[in-house]
Amino acid sequence: MSEQAMKSYDDLAPSATDKFRQRVLPFIVMIVLLAAIPLFDPSRTMNSLIAAMGINIVFALSYNMLLGRAGLLSFGHAVYFGLGGYAVLHAMNAIGAGSSGFWAGFPVFMLPVIGFGAGALAGVVIGWPSCKRSGVPFAMISLGVAELVASAGYMFGSIFGGEMGVTSDRMVGPRLFGLSMGPVEDIYWFIAFWTFLGTLGIYAFTRTPLGKMSEATRDNPERVQFVGYNPDRVRYLVFIFAGAFAGLAGGMSAVNYEIFTPESLSLAPSGLVLLMAYIGGIRYFTGPIMGAVLLTYMQSMLSDYSEAWLLYLGLLFIAIVMYAPGGVAGIVYGLLGILRRGGTDGVLARRAKQAAGVALAFTGLVILVEIAVRWSNGYGEVFEPFGLHLGIDTPLSWFLIAGFFAAGFGVLRMAREIEEGHG
Amino acid sequence: MTTPALSIRGLKKNFGPAEIICGVDLDLAPGERHAIIGPNGAGKSTLFNLISGLYQPTAGSVKLGDEEIVGLPPHVINRMGLSRSFQVSNIFANMSVRENVRCGVLYSLGHGYSFWRNVGNLHEVQRKTGEILESVGLLDKAQMPAALLSYADQRTLEIAITIAGGADVVLLDEPTAGMSHSETDRAVALIEKATAGKTLIIVEHDMGVVFNIADRISVLVYGQIIATGTPEEIRGDPRVREAYLGDGDEQQALAAAGDAQ
Amino acid sequence: METIVFSLLNGVIYGLLLFMLSSGLTLIFSMMGVLNFAHASFYMLGAYFAYSIMGVTNFWIALILAPVLVGLVGAAVEKWGLRNVHAHGHVAELLFTFGLAYLIDEMVKIVWGRSSVDYRVPEVLDFPLFELFGAEYPAYRVFILMVSVGMLVALWFILNRTRAGLIIRAALTHPHMVGHLGHNVPRIFMLVFGAGCALAGLAGVIGGNYLVTDPAMAVQMGPIVFVVVVVGGLGSLTGAFLAAMLLGLMQTFAVGVDASFADLFGWLGLTATSELGGITIASLAPMIPFLMLVLILMIRPRGLMGDREL
Amino acid sequence: MKLVKSAALAAAMAFAAGGASAETVKIAFIDPLSGPFGPSGTAGLHQWEHAVSEVNADGGMNGATLEMVPFDNKVSPKESLVQLQKAIDRGIRFIAQGNGSSVASAIIGAVNKHNKRNPGDEVLFMNYAAVDPAFTNDRCSFWHFRFDSHVDMKMAAATDWISEREDIKNVYVIGQDYSFGKAVAKAAVTQLAEKRPDIEIVGNELHPLGRVKDFTPYIQKIISSDADAVITGNWGADMVLLVKAAMDSGLEAPILTYYGGSLGAATAMGKAAVGQVLQVSEFVENYPTTDAQIARIEDYEKTYPEYDYYYHRAYNAVNFLDMAAEKAGSNDPVDIAFAMEGMTYDGPYGKVTMRAKDHQVLQDLFVSTFSADVERDVEDTGLGWTASDADRIAAGATAQPTTCQMDRPER
């Protein structure tokens, strides 16, 4: 008996190497990556894009604390992002105005802390009624709350600045780390610092007893009651933290763009963060990061090349919901798993076939959509990829579309037959 | 006379016009192993749900030691030292076996809703989790996702989670349902070991199990306890035999169990 | 007096339109558990289909054909899309329809352009029917009233007097029982989804020219439909009807009220010049539905007439 | 799949970036090009492109070719700043924007900050449609030039028109509940009180922005208030729905609008609105003008058959830019800004002046009427806008005092 009491069961936990590989290494890689980016002297466009990605990474991760980890589908997460951002802007203005007092000594670099607090406070207030329910009712409450807060945003001009929003100047207050916070290069370090801290913080949260119980509550709220936890309470606390980290992201955004408008509280940005998290993969910690990077890139770059980018986004989302609920991360890790196992059983070949089929069909779809968009705009612009002239009345267009679709679905069918043959 | 570990008085539950539990009285001495048997639909699971706080009784009182627990939410009752298992496996399917047990351990070791500690660094939690896994024989499957466990192992895990919090009063709802003979034997041994020194109420259809484990048995029929006594008394009670007349299987089982003794 | 009469008339018409739009979702939601985010998109499709059909033929053919087409699209979506997601649970279904709403919006923009289309009231109905307190009352509104009531009666008849209605009514309150009755559940789901979408399409046909037919109409109506369904209660068409009427009347009446917060709460020291005091009841009108949504979910989760909680 | 995608992107990129040359001065056009306001942004873009092509045909700006580079801001102030940053990163130093005062406000702030933080790399903002008076008053900036008459100026035209009509005794003001709508209402009330103290404001209503689906209740309120005229600053769907409901309910009072002529409105209003909807603008398609201007309109509508000539101020803006560059002998934004101050230009609809004090353009305005008897219609409806000399309000009468304290850079 005494022997058993002495036993530590340390071997139950993952080995030190595993721990390092799974928990520490990714963050070291992240630090190295963040430190290395400036060495490549990114253009200002790139810098702006990276800043947007950093903000969205923290925002999407905070959203996944709800959807992925606690099983709460929210249509109003931008509320906390926005309130955090507004709080930071007001604080920034106070720093700019105040020659003495608390704000005078507050460095702009540290402002996301204020966003964190404001997001948490909003979570405390709004979460209290919302978290009494879960599932679809919770989703509906979040939708109603988002509409209400957004409307209030337009009503209370002194806080939200009406549709013009609240603006500020970040080059105020004491400097930290010698950063003037003016040029984009300074802002890079600010974004990098807080993206890292936000990611680390959210990851650390998943490792706490509360974080673990939030997953337990997602899986089985009934059982959670019989290990001594109140599921409503677990959800409420997680909700507050999700709001807080969203507020942190909002604070980063406030410093980066120096503006917030009531529209940033509304359903549209809440929907976008949902898309980011889900497309990235809500079952993986890294999923929302991938989703945020991908969607931010699409939003700021793809929208320059194609007017129909929202259509592609919708298609991508539906494809993920229907065929790859694990999201991009699920696909990536699936492939890595196959590669690690050596891919000897022909899985790799099958996946390659599927990818080829999807790519072919998608190419056909892109041609169809792009031709349709130009035709619909009606001022005679013609889709001309690779020097081809693809008009709506060009037979080649339709030949290509039909060809790509036929080839794509043909390959997909082949892949499926192989799979069924295996199964 | 010592205070009963669990004391039920005049417990009633109506669902609409239907009276499912109609006045149950029951006292359990500390350390007692009590089995509740009865035909299907007698209200055994409802009784468990009432005691554990999942349902609110229409009338009556349930005392855990000296404390009245009617009206308290389940998690509070659990913290006061009453734990239960479920008839269908009710585990955290997306977690590993170890994490499942750890969820059961956390609160009792005072970690509640804490968000400032890393679970990996809570040595007391690791130790307790390991102990429980070892005592139920799941140590070698600790890293497996719970959903991939065999049925019998899931039932074992269910019991492990139930006892993990160290509750003094344990309610087990058909722990061996659906198990093979050998699995059942192992489960019985496990239950005996895991609940040593605790007060146990068990709902069970397998009369072998019941007569093996129980110090006393209550027979619940149509929401009422028609008899309570030692296994011998129950076996000989004519009312019990009568009540089971409609349920041939159970009667045979009862007889068989009697012969086995 | 005139404000009350007009608010009543307009509120009833708006409420009926809302009900027509929401009744389909109540059917879908209650039987299938799918809170269809794209429901208002089908409403939009109804309006656009009617516009296109009217361009080739006339309004009356559009009135019949457009809802049927929308219903077919809905059934197709259920068969080849939603059904595959069903196994992943209600949240996945909700997300699927969320993406579908994006998709339909974008496709409508490509096919019909990004600004409003000239979908107008047919000329036979484009005249003032009567004059009341100096304002003319357009005949088309009365037509909306008649179509809505017609639909209401038809729906009532189908639900209460036919065998299909019997099954639907049973399924509304006990969705898991449908399978036990020996019916082909996927087929029933497809039909219900199609029928629900067709009802939304019908609302689009008669609402599109009453309001405006543009790609934003789905986004504008979408959340309101949820409010009606949730407030009305799961499984209850009567509840949805009450909720729709309540919303329609409350919104139109709020607009007619001139009071501001300062007038209402002046006794608390609130002045009209302060920001809070300056808010008028009329400006709150569009917020009322969402206030109702949140309150109902918190206080009475089963809605006005629902027989079970959400 | 990734390979195909990036190849497609590369192709698209080449397609988008084609035609750049060293002799090019680029103007970033930051406006909605997709979404609900996409059509109106696209219409503006085409007008600018057309105006720029005229200058290019005429030898360019000091010999350099002008080029419009579109950026889609989805009418979001935040997204506009992202796009502005993108434009600046690409070395573009002239910005054109118009849709939404909130967007213009954000751009002014961002341009001010950028120019302060990056001396030698200044950018210039040409605002062609954002009409919040503050931009040329309290918030005036040396880097901002406005080529549209602001809210108070347009209201001055509208109230002049009203004050000349003795039979108008009761006026109803209705607008969107946000800063622009409030500014319109305030301007209407104060200016009417000055010009016609006998007029009673029988209603001053603000409705939520873009959320009202049925305006009938509001119209009924207007009818029962016995209003003789209605003033509204509504735009977009709010404008269309308001007019539509008014027509349906038989409102007889004229409706003075700011944006009755915007894209899609004519189609939605239809015949019922003829003679009853009026618009305050610097351009009226059927107002008699020079042959050159008629040729320009016809050329535009031939080049972009889907669009009607509407943003005449785009030509004013581009002409000012060209003239200022020539005067300064430089294509540098700072030199051009100084040269543009106080500059005048004789346009087809009268003299246009860029007031040095606040960078606000002064131009004649028209109160035009929606009519069925027009030479040039809009949106192929057979309906269009007409005005006579009586509806013309001289630039001087629309000019408003300014509180601007211009902060000019040192030369």
Nearest-by-Cβ selection for B74 from A12, A226, A233: A226
What's B101's domain CATH number?
3.40.50.300
CB within 8 Å: A19 and B120: yes
Distance, CA of A116 to CA of D101 (rounded, Å): 31
CB pairs under 8 A between C and D: 96
* Per-residue model confidence as pLDDT tens digits over A171-229: 887 777 877 777 778 889 999 999 999 999 999 999 899 998 999 988 888 888 888 88
Smallest Cα distance from C137 to chain D, Å: 6
B19-53 burial by CB neighbour count: b if 16+ within 10 A, else e? bbbbebebbbeeebbbbbbbbeebbbbbbbbbbbb
Give phi and psi for A352, each to the nearest 5.
-60, -40
Question: Where residue A1 falls among pLDDT bands split at 50, 70, 90?
Answer: very low
Q: Is the dihedral of CA A126, A131, A133, A139 positive or negative?
A: positive
> What pLDDT score does A267 carry?
85
Q: Which two tokens stand for residue B213?
A: 């484990």
- Between the alpha carbon of residue D304 and those of residues A375, A381, B170, D297, the distances in Å are 14, 11, 81, 11
Q: What was the pLDDT predicted at B140?
A: 84
A211 touches B at CB < 8 Å: yes
Above 80 in pLDDT, residue C12? yes
- Residue A158 parent element (H or E): helix A157-160
Mutate to test the interface with B, among A3, A131, A223 (most CBs of B within 10 A): A223
- For the segment C167-179, what is each residue's pLDDT rounded down to a tens digit? 777 777 676 666 6
Q: Note whether D206 contacts A: Cβ–Cβ < 8 A.
A: no
Q: How far is A217 from chain B (nearest CA, A)?
A: 9
Which of C10, C133, C214 has its CB closest to that of D214?
C10
All residues of chain D having their beta carbon less than 8 Å from the beta carbon of residue A312 are none
Q: CA-CA-CA-CA torsion for B120, B122, B127, B133, nearest 10 degrees?
A: -50
Partner-chain residue, chosen from D36, D250, D251, that has the shortest CB–CB distance to C215? D36
Least confident range from A119-128, A167-176, B58-67, C275-284: namely C275-284
The one-letter code for the residue type at A349 is A
In this complex, do D16 and A304 lie within 8 Å of one another by their Cβ atoms? yes
Q: Label residue D339 by pLDDT band (50, 70, 90).
A: very high
- Asked whether residue D17 carries a pLDDT value surpassing 50, the answer given is no
D263 and C115: CB-CB below 8 Å?
yes
Q: How far is C135 from chain D (nearest CA, A)?
A: 6
Q: What are phi and psi of C47, to 5 degrees?
A: -65, -45
Chain D residues touching residue C215 (CB < 8 angstroms): 36
**E-only strand ranges, C128-217:** 128-132, 135-138
Q: How far apart are CA D384 and CA D378, in angstroms?
A: 5
* Pairing, β D200-207 against β D124-127: unpaired
Total-model pTM: 0.87
Interface contact flag, A318 C99, Cβ < 8 Å = yes
Q: Does A40 touch chain B (CB under 8 A)?
A: no
Does residue A380 carry a pLDDT above 70? no
Reply yes or no on whether the pLDDT at D236 is more than 80.
no
The structure tokens 């974080």 sit at A211
Stretch B178-194: mean pLDDT: 85
DSSP, collapsed to helix, strand or coil, labels residue B61 as: strand
Residue percentage of chain A with pLDDT more than 70: 91
Side chain identity at residue C225, one-letter code: V
> Do D409 and D161 form a contact (C-beta atoms < 8 A)?
no
Comparison of pLDDT for D34 and C49, the residue scoring more: C49
Which runs of E-coded beta strand occur in D190-263?
200-207, 229-232, 255-257
Instruction: List the single range of A380-384, B149-153, C44-48 with lowest mean pLDDT.
Output: A380-384
Structure tokens at D128: 């062609």
Contact C46, C221 (CB under 8 A): no
Which among B92, B94, B114, B134 is the top mutation candidate for probing chain A, defined by the most A β-carbons within 10 Å of its own β-carbon? B92
CB environment A261-298: b (16+ within 10 A), e (fewer): bbbbbbbbbbbbbbbbbbbbbbebbbbbbbbbbbbbeb
What does the pLDDT read at residue B259? 47
What is the number of structural domains in chain B?
1
Cβ-Cβ contacts under 8 Å, C135 against chain D: 219-220, 223-224, 249-251
User: Does the pLDDT at position B175 exceed 60?
Assistant: yes
Domain extent listing, chain D: 22-149+293-362, 152-281+364-398
Q: Which amino acid is at D31?
A: D
Q: What mean pLDDT, rounded, does chain A reach?
A: 84
All domains in chain C, ordered by first residue? 2-258 (1.10.3470)
Q: Is residue B196 within 8 angstroms of chain A, CB to CB?
A: no
Show which of residues 74-103 on chain B sit within 8 Å of chain A, judged by CB atoms.
74-75, 78-79, 83-84, 86, 90-95, 98-99, 102-103
Please report all neighbours of A, defined by 3+ CB atom pairs within 8 A. Answer: B, C, D
Gap between the Cα atoms of C302 and A191, Å rounded: 46
Q: Is A388 on the interface with C (CB under 8 A)?
A: no
Domain D152-281+364-398 adopts which CATH fold?
Rossmann fold (3.40.50)
Q: Is the CB of A227 less than 8 angstroms away from the CB of B91?
A: no
Pick from A214-223, C222-231, C287-296, D36-45: least confident: D36-45
Q: pLDDT: is D165 or C285 the higher one?
A: D165
Q: Which of B98, B105, B119, B172 to mutate to test the interface with A (most CBs of A within 10 A)?
A: B119
Count CB pairs under 8 A between chains A and B. Answer: 123
Give pLDDT, residue C124: 78
Q: Taking a C-beta distance cutoff of 8 angstroms, is the pair C137, C129 a contact? A: yes
Would you call C275 and A157 a contact, using CB atoms and an 8 Å cutoff? yes
pLDDT at position D22: 47
Local confidence band at D172 (pLDDT 50, 70, 90 cut-offs)? very high
> Does residue A122 register a pLDDT over 80?
yes
| Percent of chain D residues topping a pLDDT of 90 | 45
Q: Kindly state whether D4 is in contact with chain A, defined as any CB-CB distance less than 8 angstroms.
A: yes
Asked if D179 and A162 come within 8 Å (Cβ–Cβ), the reply is yes
SS3 D177: coil
Other beta carbons within 10 Å of D246:
26
Q: How far apart are CA C261 and CA B156, in angstroms?
A: 62
- The 10s digit of each residue's pLDDT in D262-283 is 777 887 778 888 889 999 998 9
Give residue limits of the domains in chain A. Answer: 15-267, 341-422
Radius of gyration of chain D (CA): 21
| C280-293 average pLDDT score | 80
Structure confidence by residue, pLDDT tens digits, C22-31: 988 988 888 8
pLDDT at A9 over 70: no
Give domain status of residue B1, yes or no. no
Position A191 scores a pLDDT of: 94
Of the listed ranges A95-99, C55-59, C171-175, D81-85, the one predicted with least confidence: C171-175
Q: Find the helix or strand (DSSP H, E) in which B217 lies.
A: strand B216-221
Q: Which residues in chain A (99-158) have CB-CB distances under 8 A to chain D? A: 151, 154-155, 157
Q: How far apart are CA A274 and CA A60, in angstroms?
A: 8
Q: Residue A3's pLDDT band (boundaries 50, 70, 90)? A: very low
- Give the nearest chain A residue to D16 (CA atoms): A305
Of C1 and B33, the structure prediction assigns the larger pLDDT to B33
- Asked if the model's pLDDT at residue C235 lies above 80, the reply is no
**Which residues in chain C touch residue A314, judged by CB atoms under 8 angstroms apart?**
99-100, 102-103, 105-106
Task: Please check whether residue D89 touches A, CB under 8 A.
Answer: yes
Residue C180 has pLDDT above 90, yes or no: no
Nearest residue of chain B to residue A3 (CA atoms): B131
DSSP summary character for residue B228 = E
Q: What pLDDT score does B257 carry? A: 54
Query: Rounded to whole angstroms, how far apart are CA atoms A39 and D225?
Result: 69
Alpha-carbon distance C194 to nearest alpha carbon in chain A (angstroms):
20
Is D206 at the interface with chain C, CB within 8 A?
yes
What fold does the segment set D22-149+293-362 form as a domain? Rossmann fold (3.40.50)
Stretch A267-272: mean pLDDT, rounded?
88
Q: Mean pLDDT throughout B117-123?
A: 80
Chain A CB contacts of D81 under 8 Å are 257-259
pLDDT-derived band at B166, boundaries 50, 70, 90: confident
Higher-pLDDT residue of B206, D170: D170
Interface check D22 vs A, CB under 8 A: no
Domain of B253, in residue numbers: 6-260
- CA distance, residue C111 to nearest chain A CA (Å): 6
Touching chains B and C? (3+ Cβ pairs < 8 A): no
H/E element, D294: helix D291-303
Q: How many A-D residue pairs are in contact by the CB < 8 A criterion?
A: 115
User: Which residues of chain C have a CB within 8 Å of the CB of D207?
Assistant: 255, 282-283
Interface of chain C toward chain D, CB-CB under 8 angstroms: 2-3, 6-7, 10, 14, 113-118, 120, 128, 131, 133-138, 140-141, 210-212, 214-216, 220-221, 252, 255-256, 280, 282-283, 285-286
